[in-house]
Amino acid sequence: MKKDNKKSRRKFLRYTFGAGLGTLIGLPLLSNSTGHDDKPLSGDKIKLLTTDGKVIEVDKNQLQNMTSYAKPAVDKAARQGIPNRKFVMVIDLSRCKNARACVESCQYAHQLRPEQEFIKVLKMQDTEKTAPYWFPKPCFHCDNATCVDVCPVYATYKRDDGLVLIDSDRCIGCKYCMVACPYEARVFHWKKPFREEEFEGIEYSPETSVPVKQGTVGKCDFCPDLARNDKLPHCATACPEGVIYFGDMYEDTVTNGYETHRLSELIEKKSAYRYLPHYGTEPNVYYLPPVDRIYPFDETENS
């Protein structure tokens, strides 16, 4: 019984994840994607949960297969980054209700175990007098990344597009980066890779961080494989509240799939801040303070 539940949950997640492409950063992705429009409808309908909470039905053939995307970069290209881009993330703390869709979609895409999280949703409280709030915490992809400095073999590196990635094929597993990161953004793959058979045969890329390699360090990668296809990271796509904006600093634009903003305006008007700036790490994640909240803080909220 338990196994069935697990299976159906996997199936649900997979389809939700696939549906995210069609529903969050726009149904246009479904209709515009080449190779899928040509397929005749199968008549086999699948129910999908959109990120705004609606259940919709789509034909099975309309689902886009993730593997049909442009391939993630490997080797030298994975070290150089996407030209003329500088990725940035903005997290709106006033919207987060700890739905944990970001955590789960990230875990699913990155072959993580249930106890491993590249993006964590922490319960924060600045002072005793202020209200608590939910605080999604991915890797901050710092410009002065301590983890990059301390890695003895350049397994962790900074790319031209601002991303800090890990090459698991090179990581020796000394864990120095984990100790040095002021944001505790890293996880260690202590155990045998999860769902190993599903990722078998897939070429490893630091851009996808899969297949996971035991004995190495992992962390949030901002999903550059999706960025190569002009798509949002898994967490941003999955978030039902549009908490996570992703964009390009050079274009001064960020989007959560619903709204698009000028990054500079958002920072100025909403008094965006970066976390623990005194370390001088220059993070590339900005937070919009938890003011004028859409939801009251609810500890039980988890859906």
Residues forming contacts to other proteins in the complex (CB under 8 A) are 122-126, 132, 135, 137, 146, 149-155, 169-176, 178-184, 186-192, 213-217, 276, 279
- In whole angstroms, how close is the CB of 176 to other proteins at the nearest point? 5
Q: Cα(55)–Cα(12) distance, rounded to whole angstroms?
A: 12
* CA proximity to 285, closest of 179, 157, 145: 145
Q: Cα(67)–Cα(265) distance, rounded to whole angstroms?
A: 36
Matching residue, tokens 């549906």? 19
- In whole angstroms, how close is the CB of 132 to other proteins at the nearest point? 6
Please say which residue, 54 or 278, places its beta carbon nearer to other proteins.
278
Q: Cα(61)–Cα(43) distance, rounded to whole angstroms?
A: 9
Q: Annotate 125-146 with DSSP letters as a single string.
A: -SSTTSPPEEEEE-----TT-H
- In whole angstroms, how close is the CB of 276 to other proteins at the nearest point? 8
The one-character DSSP state at 273 is B
- In whole angstroms, how close is the CB of 174 to other proteins at the nearest point? 6
Here the tokens at position 181 are 């990161």
In DSSP terms, 189 is beta-bridged to none
In total, the chain counts a number of residues equal to 303
Please say which residue, 49 or 180, places its beta carbon nearer to other proteins.
180
Please say which residue, 215 or 258, places its beta carbon nearer to other proteins.
215
Q: Cα(252)–Cα(264) distance, rounded to whole angstroms?
A: 6
Q: Cα(66)–Cα(64) distance, rounded to whole angstroms?
A: 6
Please say which residue, 112 or 232, places its beta carbon nearer to other proteins.
112
Q: Cα(187)–Cα(292) distance, rounded to whole angstroms?
A: 33
Please say which residue, 21 or 151, places its beta carbon nearer to other proteins.
151
Please say which residue, 49 or 77, places its beta carbon nearer to other proteins.
77
Please say which residue, 96 or 217, places its beta carbon nearer to other proteins.
217
Q: Is residue 46 within a helix (H) or strand (E), and if so which, with residue range? A: strand 45-49
195 with 173: CB under 8 angstroms?
no
- In whole angstroms, how close is the CB of 145 to other proteins at the nearest point? 11
- In whole angstroms, how close is the CB of 152 to other proteins at the nearest point? 4
- In whole angstroms, how close is the CB of 36 to other proteins at the nearest point? 39
